[in-house]
Structure 1
Amino acid sequence: MPGIGTLINAAAVIGGGVLGLIFRKGLPQRFQDTLMQALGLSTIFIGIAGTLEKMLILHGETVSAEGTMLAVLSLAAGALLGEGINLEKRFEQLGQWLKKKTGSVQDTCFLEGFITASLTICIGAMAIVGALQDGLSADPSLLITKAVLDFLIIMIFTSALGKGAIFSVIPLVLFQGSITLLAQFIAPLLSEPMIANIAMIGSMLIFCVGVNLMFNTKINVANLLPALIIAAILTPWF
């Protein structure tokens, strides 16, 4: 049945979040701080690995980088578009609404946990390709694999940032579910190079998430999300 992959993925996010909360209750603050740094470091290298996998091309004994200009243009145009729409503010408004509705007003990490976890599990290539595969052929195998990874990711996020990370299940279901439902219309529009470039930009954004976690900076990653669409549009010209 189409959509079962996203449902399994959502269940894994909730399960990982609940387990993370159990661990969090028994962790002193210094353990939580170190766990946050470890989470940021691992996220940075996940982003780097995903980016280099798409950018570096092996030609015999030489290695060349491709997609650099596409990345620059996509991120620049995406930043302008994202700032114009102010997607970061929209994410924050949703997070604040959830924070109030769940009685978590005193939880200072709720918003960070929600936004950071949402961006991490929603912008990877597996989310897009897996949802398309589920919608076109009712094959949830890729999303089930993603579910296992997301279970571990959300467990760690929740251990470090609290229950806000669990609510990343909402944008996950909306994003992947929409792609699955519209797969028949989306699939003909996306070529393999388009998906590869979306994955490259997505990995760059995951790197930014890691930098925010590791160095306590504030890169407005949500405002860069339109770069994913721009990358797909620019692909035929590169």
Structure 2
Amino acid sequence: MLGTIVNALAIVIGGVLGVLLKKSIGEGYKDTIMKAIGLGVLIIGFKEALATGNVLLLMIAVIIGSLVGEALELEKRLQGLGDFIQRRMGSSESTFTKGFVTASVVYCVGALAIIGSLQSGLMGDHTTLFTKSILDGISSIIFASTLGIGVAFSAVPVFLYQGAITLLAGVVEPLMTDAVVQEISAIGGLLIIGIGFNILEIKKFPVANMLPAIIVPVIAGVLGFL
């Protein structure tokens, strides 16, 4: 669990530093930074999504995942969690929940989260998660400088998600073939593209409702389709 703990702490520290930095940034600069973040997130998303080896599976996974997520109201529940934390913190930031949801999805859906957690649980090798910690820590400074302290609280779902994979590594490792991880990463990239559009306010995508899509490649792998 060491890698996951370090990763969560990096997000918290980066988020706090970003909030401190936020106070010294003018509104005009914040708007420019947000647009730059949105464009950067889009690039990351497209890079990951285009790595798919099965476009049809990608489409089917997102459709099925969206239907399941819509039925479970995941977007509403995740936003509700963000609102709950905000109330408990007594924060009045208008971007608190947006920062929490955005950062939670971005930090959880990448391949590094899965691969690093498996390595940590199976071999005690935390190198990948330490690397992810550096990346997440730096990006959380940037996110929090415009979206606020909600970004720091994304450390909670990151800790729970990666921690669960680490603890269950022996069970899930046989299911995580290279092909499965590749498609999960591609689906994650597609969700990150949705986050990019949300940040740029081009089109609102209920990205959290699409999260169950990342389970579809695992099922496809078990059934022999991957």
TM above 0.5, one fold? yes
Cα offsets for 1:211-235 (capped at 9, x unmatched): 1101353200000001100122124
Pairing of 1:107-146 with structure 2 (within 5 A): 107-146=93-132
The equivalent position to 2:36 in structure 1, one of 35, 38, 48, is: 38
Question: Please, which runs of 5 or more residues in structure 1 have no aligned partner?
Answer: 56-65
> For residues 11 and 213 of structure 2, what CA distance do their matches in structure 1 show?
26
Question: What aligned pairs does 1:84-233 form with structure 2 within 5 A after superposition?
Answer: 84-104=71-91, 106-233=92-219
Runs of 4 or more consecutive aligned structure 1 residues displaced over 4 Å after TM superposition: none
SS at match of 2:112: helix
The alpha carbon displacement at 1:11 in A equals: 1.4
CA displacement, residues 155-185 of structure 1 (integer Å, 9 cap, x when unaligned): 1110010101110000000000011011111
Aligned letter for 2:82? G
Residue identity in the other structure for 1:11 = L
Which runs of 5 or more residues in structure 2 are unaligned?
none
> Rg: which structure is higher?
1
Residue 67 of structure 2 is matched in structure 1 by 80
Q: Distance in 2 between matches of 1:72 and 1:50?
A: 15
**TM superposition score normalised by structure 2:** 0.96
TM-score between the two structures when normalised by the length of structure 1 = 0.91
Aligned counterparts, 1:41-52, within 5 A: 41-52=39-50
How many equivalent residue pairs? 224
What is the RMSD of the two structures over their aligned residues, measured on CA atoms?
Answer: 1.0
How far apart are the structure 2 equivalents of 1:9 and 1:101?
A: 24
User: Do 2:175 and 2:218's aligned partners in 1 also have CA atoms closer than 8 Å?
Assistant: no
Q: Distance in 1 between matches of 2:105 and 2:144?
A: 14
Give 1:49 deviation, angstroms: 1.0
Quote the residue 2:10 is aligned against: 12
Q: Does residue 217 of structure 2 align to residue 237 of structure 1?
A: no
Name the aligned partner's letter for residue 96 of structure 1.
Answer: D
Contact 1:197/1:232, CA 8 A, preserved across alignment: no
Q: Secondary structure at the match of 2:82?
A: helix
Letter in 2 for 1:72: M
Cα distance in 2 for partners of 1:76, 1:92 equals: 21
1:77-135 CA-partner distances (Å, limit 9, x unpaired)? 1111110111101101111110011011x211001000001001111000011001000
Instruction: Note the C-alpha offset of 1:50.
Output: 1.3
Q: Secondary structure, in 3 states, of the residue corresponding to 1:225?
A: helix
- The aligned counterpart of 2:24 is 26
* d(CA) in 1 for partners of 2:176, 2:15: 33
Instruction: Verify the 8 A CA contact 1:212 1:218 in the aligned structure 2.
Output: yes
